[in-house]
Amino acid sequence: MKIGAPFAGPVSFPLLVISEYEDIGLHNTCSEDGSFDVVLDSITNIAKYGMGIIAGVFIDMYSIIGNTDSKTIYTVRKGTLADYNARIIARSISGQVINTDPDTVVKMAEEGHMGLVGNEVQVGISYAEFAERLGIYAASCLIAARDQSFRSVLDQYQKGIEFIARNPEVSAEIISRKSNYYDEKTMKRIIGIYRHRLTTLRSDLERSISVYSAVEPSVYRLKILG
Alpha carbon distance 122, 182 (integer Å): 14
Question: Model-level pTM?
Answer: 0.89
The terminus-to-terminus CA distance of the chain in angstroms comes to: 20
Q: Is the pLDDT of residue 134 over 70?
A: yes
Residue 90's pLDDT band (cuts 50, 70, 90): very high
Query: Torsions phi, psi of 65, nearest 5?
Result: -125, 160
Q: Is the pLDDT of residue 16 over 60?
A: yes
Closest CA to 201 of 56, 81, 2: 56
Please compute the mean of the pLDDT values over residues 69-93 and round it to a whole number. 97
Please compute the mean of the pLDDT values over residues 210-221 and round it to a whole number. 96
Please compute the mean of the pLDDT values over residues 117-138 and round it to a whole number. 95
Alpha carbon distance 222, 87 (integer Å): 20
Q: Is the pLDDT of residue 175 over 90?
A: no
Query: How confident is the model at residue 77, as a pLDDT?
Result: 96
